[in-house]
Amino acid sequence: MSRLPLGHNGGPPIDDNHVPEWGNSGIGSYFEWKAASRAAFHGIPAEIAIMRARRAAALGLTYEEYTLEILERGRYLQATDADRIMEIRLKRPLRW
């Protein structure tokens, strides 16, 4: 853990390089979006979350990718949806 200089209150940096959690384009509806996102991904019964996680793993997707597909398209992906699954995988950021 790095030590802060004497007199530092632990707040965000004052320099121009700081980007707030909601980005550079103003706060807008950030907090409403964040609450809706939290409810969609974390406000569900544990049994459903476990089922989605298992199905996602069987398809080679993350829980978030699988749940987002349900929320955006209203479809539960199956093994026969190989083309769509590959599209989702190709959108993942590269990890080195």
pLDDT, one tens digit per residue, over 20-74 is 777 777 777 888 888 888 888 888 999 999 999 999 999 999 999 999 999 999 9
Query: Which is higher by pLDDT, 10 or 70?
Result: 70
Cα distance between residue 14 and residue 5, in whole Å: 14
pLDDT of residue 8: 76
pLDDT of residue 1: 55
Both tokens of 42, joined, read 């974390």
65 by Cβ neighbours in 10 Å (0-12 / 13-18 / 19+) ranks as: middle
Q: Average pLDDT for residues 81-95, to the nearest whole number?
A: 91
Cα distance between residue 89 and residue 85, in whole Å: 6
